[in-house]
Structure 1
Amino acid sequence: MAPPRMRPRFDLQLPVERERWLGALKSQLKDAPGSLRGQVFKKHAVVLMRDTERTFWSPYLNLEVEDEPDGSAIRGRFSPHPNVWTMFMGVYILLAIVGLGGLSYGIVQLTLGYSPWAFWIIPASIALFGFVYGATLIGQGLGAEQMYVMRSLIDRTCVDALDAPLGVAVADSE
């Protein structure tokens, strides 16, 4: 079994135009009743859980759709909601600053001949860093079913875009 990845991603190559695929995604998001909502732009789309279904660990799917000579390339990345991602990054930065502060203060204590108790802050920061990292992996595991629902939507969108008549966008894209 592969280890869990931070912010899992996927790449798809399709023999359909970008506008056609984004139109199919817009149609899927509009017509399919369920727990998903999203926004579709010219070369970008986001898919997330409806507010009633969203939890702290719910995933956020960011899609980049680019034109290719033989169709389009879709690059998807699952991540936490941007607010949650920012909070985790803030905690990581705070722990790094606290660890560096402990190192600096410990060096000062050592230089002045005091007992360098501040060096204990470093392993405590590393342990908390590991705890936060583990919490992100647990959250990813708790959101795995919702990630599957989002990926299923993308797969259905690919089928719809491939089945649409040539030269016809599935829905108007903005």
Structure 2
Amino acid sequence: MNTEETTLDKIRTRPRFKMFTDLTKEEYAENLKKYLSEHKDEFSGNINKEIATICVETPNDNYWKPRLALRIETEDEKTAVLGVFGPSSAVWTFFMFLYFMFSILWMVFFSMYYVEKQINSNDFPWALTASFIMLALIALTYAAARFGQHKGKDEMLKLRRFAEESTLHFEKTDD
């Protein structure tokens, strides 16, 4: 199979893939464990017959350290491997919480400003300033995420190579 990086891969925060194999869940997990043990100086992870999490071994860890999460399922009597590249779920959840919180606060403060202008009141003179601060915090959160992605780019490439080398030769072809 020919794999290539598309523009969509470059802009997605958590790129995904899906493949089918003729191996059973147990056989695929055993082959993944074997591949991981052969490359234990470069990768670490936890593997069972349904879920695998792979990390790149590095001397320093940053907050956006990428991981490869593989979920092994059975679909229509075939084994499906679903993969997601991205940071740990705790980091991902934290960033989504920040986006959500700052967005809601922006809407609240902007609504306060708008209503104040509509009723010709001066009860909340700080509302417009607060809404701009929320926009700045959203931009800072985005910048922090992009910076983390940039710092983890080499690790992402290694994880992509791991995914390709450990899974593609087991992929089912429709010949």
Give the TM-score of the pair, scaled to structure 1: 0.76
CA-to-partner distance for each residue in 1:13-71, whole Å, 9 max, x for gaps? 22322221111111222232323211112211111234744322210211111224564
Equivalent of residue 146 in structure 2, options 131, 137, 143: 137
Q: Where does structure 2 lack aligned partners over 5 or more consecutive residues?
A: 1-5
Distance 1:140 1:104, change over 3 A: same
| Distance in 1 (alpha carbons) for counterparts of 2:28 and 2:128 | 55
Residue in 2 aligned with 1:170?
A: none
| Distance in 2 (alpha carbons) for counterparts of 1:159 and 1:97 | 43
| Distance in 1 (alpha carbons) for counterparts of 2:78 and 2:23 | 5
- Greater relative contact order, per chain length (Cα 8 Å cut-off, separation 6+): 1
Which amino acid is the alignment partner of residue 65 of structure 2?
S
Residue in 1 aligned with 2:129?
A: 120
Three-state SS of the structure 2 residue aligned to 1:47 is strand
Three-state SS of the structure 1 residue aligned to 2:11 is coil
Residue in 1 aligned with 2:91?
A: 84
| Distance in 2 (alpha carbons) for counterparts of 1:68 and 1:103 | 48
Residue in 2 aligned with 1:6?
A: 13
| Distance in 1 (alpha carbons) for counterparts of 2:150 and 2:21 | 29
| Distance in 1 (alpha carbons) for counterparts of 2:76 and 2:96 | 38
Aligned length: 162
| Distance in 1 (alpha carbons) for counterparts of 2:148 and 2:109 | 29
| Distance in 1 (alpha carbons) for counterparts of 2:126 and 2:76 | 62
CA-to-partner distance for each residue in 1:86-118, whole Å, 9 max, x for gaps? 321232133123213313432564336217441
Give the TM-score of the pair, scaled to structure 2: 0.75
% identical aligned pairs: 27
